[in-house]
Amino acid sequence: MGEKRLGLLVLYASQTGNAMDAGERVGREAERRGCSSVEVLSMDVFDPDCLPLELIVIFVVSTTGQGDVPDSMKEFWKFLLRRNLRHQWLHGLHYAVFGLGDSGYQKYNFTAKKLDKRLLDLGATPIIEKGLGDDQHRSGYEGALDPWLSSLWSALNQTFPTIISSDSDSGLSQIGTLDQVKFQIIYHGSDNVQQSSSIMKDYNNKEKVIEEARLMSPARYSHDDSRPHHFLKMVVNQRLTQVDYERDVRHFEFEAHSSSIDYQVGDVLEILPSQDPVAVDAFIQRCNLDPECYITVQPRSVNKHLNDVVGPVKLRTFVALTMDIASASPRRYFFEVMSFFATAEHEKERLQYFASAEGRDDLYQYNQKERRTVLEVLEDFPSVQLPFEWLVQLVPPLKTRAFSISSSPLAHPNQVHITVSIVSWTTPYKRKKYGLCSTWLARLDPHSSTGVHIPAWIRRGLLPPPPPSLPLILVGPGTGCAPFRAFVEERAVQSLKCPAAPVLFFFGCRNEDKDFLYKDFWFSHAQEHSVLATKHGGGFFVVFSRDQPHKIYVQHKIKEESEKVFRLLGEGASIYIAGSSTKMPADVTSAIEEIISKEAGITKESAVLWLRRLEKAGRFYIEAWS
Would you list which residues are annotated within the binding site for FAD?
371, 401-404, 435-438, 625
Q: Which residues are annotated as a binding site for NADP(+)?
A: 479, 545-546, 551-555, 587
Tell me if 149 sits within 8 A of 29, measured CB to CB. Answer: yes
Q: What are phi and psi of 98, to 5 degrees?
A: -120, 130
Q: Residue 87 class from Cβ within 10 Å (0-12 exposed, 13-18 middle, 19+ buried)?
A: exposed
Alpha carbon distance 44, 256 (integer Å): 29
**Which helix H or strand E contains 24, and what residues bound it?**
helix 18-32
Diameter of the chain by CA atoms?
81
Long-range contacts of 347-352 (CB under 8 A, 24+ apart): 347/381, 347/382, 347/383, 347/384, 350/381, 351/381, 351/384, 352/173
DSSP state of 64: B
Q: What angle do CA 481, 486, 489 make, to 5 degrees?
A: 120
Alpha carbon distance 94, 75 (integer Å): 22
Alpha carbon distance 353, 330 (integer Å): 16
Q: Which residues are annotated as a binding site for FMN?
A: 14-19, 62-65, 135
Alpha carbon distance 193, 296 (integer Å): 12
Query: Beta-carbon neighbour count of residue 626 at 10 Å?
Result: 12
Q: Which residues are annotated as a binding site?
A: 14-19, 62-65, 135, 371, 401-404, 435-438, 479, 545-546, 551-555, 587, 625
Tell me if 623 sits within 8 A of 596, measured CB to CB. Answer: no
Alpha carbon distance 504, 502 (integer Å): 7
Alpha carbon distance 330, 105 (integer Å): 25
DSSP-assigned beta bridge partners for residue 297? 185
Alpha carbon distance 212, 202 (integer Å): 10
Tell me if 296 sits within 8 A of 322, measured CB to CB. Answer: no
Instruction: Name which of 329, 372, 344, 335 is nearest 173 in CA terms.
Output: 335
Q: Residue 49 class from Cβ within 10 Å (0-12 exposed, 13-18 middle, 19+ buried)?
A: exposed
273 Cα distance to chain centroid: 15
H helices of 272-381, in order, are: 277-286, 315-322, 332-341, 345-355, 360-366, 374-380
Alpha carbon distance 540, 564 (integer Å): 12
Instruction: Name which of 131, 43, 57 is nearest 90 in CA terms.
Output: 57
Query: Beta-carbon neighbour count of residue 169 at 10 Å?
Result: 9
H helices of 479-617, in order, are: 482-494, 519-524, 554-560, 562-570, 584-600, 604-616
